[in-house]
Amino acid sequence: MTPEQQKRFKHWQTRTLIGTMFGYALFYFLRKNFSLAMPGMEADMGISKTGLGIFLTIHGLVYGCSQLINGMFADRKNARYYMSIGLLLCALANFAFGFGEDISYWITGVRQGVPFTNFVILFMGIMWVLNGLLQGSGFPPCARLLTHWIPPRELATKMSIWNTSHTVGAGAVIILCGYIMSHMGTDMSGNPDAVSAIAANLHVAADDPEGMQRVMTFAAHVGAWRWCFWIPASIALVGSVALFLTLREPPPRSDSRSWRVPKSTPKPQHPRKSKRPKQRPSSANTSSRTPSCGSWPSPTSSSTRSDSPSWTGDLPC
């Protein structure tokens, strides 16, 4: 490579590293937000801890399987498109999850009762499983881009830096959703019906002071859990566009062979064998004619014809 090419290549290496770190951190925004929204979902809709645990379990299983499936596809597709579109679809799934109550109302025509609650759980379950399936489109494109743009001698160091995206994404979404749950939502603490409904969802008796204090806390932030999906999804929506503009496919292997594969000493070429019919060596000299991992033995005049080919050089093992 010329100095100018090396400079540009270094620029794209750094750009790809930062872009994939930023993009993968946003996938955490759309996966770890559920845990922070769970208390609000339980208080507002009455979904039990068992039901919420089933959500998380199925999502984890689907996400694990999707890593394998998406890995096979990502090897054959444009990583720039694959990762940015995957992030965009995860954001849309989170938007739909946050609007689960409204969509269920449009379909069932009621806002309470067993049919409404069952449809809400079904719809949200489908959206979260779909989100888990799409979440697998995050890591495989990153692995493909980084291993192509970064030479082997730097890969371990750069991957260690890239792995901080896990901590950055998980930590940032915890701070964001924690703020949302404590500062957003509708204050319904002055509405006795709303307070009674939340107390029933949380199974808190009216004569339980500590339990009622918890009920009043949730009543002051009704619906805040929805913003735990809408705001991260909005950030990821913008991030998917930025990711698409930032990433590029790596150059062809033929152009990058000089930095990917270190030059090695070419293997010695043996002279072409004579076309004359070979004579089987005597049993006494068979061991001396058998090549070993090292060098070819030189023929001796007493056991070999003068016109036999003379082999020199190391034997490739």
Q: What is the pLDDT of residues 176-206, one digit of tens each?
A: 999 999 999 888 888 888 899 889 888 888 8
Tokens of 120: 């809400």
CATH tag, 7-167+226-249: 1.20.1250.20
- pLDDT value at residue 36: 92
Neighbouring C-beta atoms of residue 254, cutoff 10 Å: 7
pLDDT average, residue stretch 8-15? 89
Q: Is residue 16 very low, low, confident or very high in pLDDT (cuts 50, 70, 90)?
A: very high
Q: How many CB atoms lie within 10 A of CB 299?
A: 18
Q: What angle do CA 117, 119, 123 make, to 5 degrees?
A: 120
3-25 burial, b at 16+ Cβ within 10 Å, e below that, comes to eeeeeebeeebeebbebbbbbbb
- Residue 111 has phi, psi (to 5 degrees) of -115, 5
Asked whether the whole model's pTM tops 0.95, one would answer no
Please return the burial class of 58, using the count of CB atoms within 10 Å of its CB with bins 0-12, 13-18 and 19+. middle
CA distances (Å), 43 to each of 3, 38, 202, in order?
62, 9, 6
* pLDDT tens, position by position, 65-91: 998 889 888 888 888 999 999 999 999
127 confidence band (pLDDT: 50, 70, 90): very high
pLDDT at 31 over 80: yes
Q: Using pLDDT thresholds of 50, 70 and 90, give the confidence band for residue 1.
A: low
Q: What is the mean pLDDT of residues 107-118?
A: 80
Q: Residues 28, 170: contact at Cβ < 8 Å?
A: yes
Mean pLDDT of 44-55: 85
Cα distances (angstroms) measured from residue 135 to each of 30, 72, 80, 92, 93? 8, 15, 15, 12, 11
Structure tokens at 7: 């400079």
In angstroms, the CA 204 to CA 214 distance is 9
Predicted confidence band of residue 277 (pLDDT cuts 50, 70, 90):
low
For residue 314, the cross-strand partners are 295
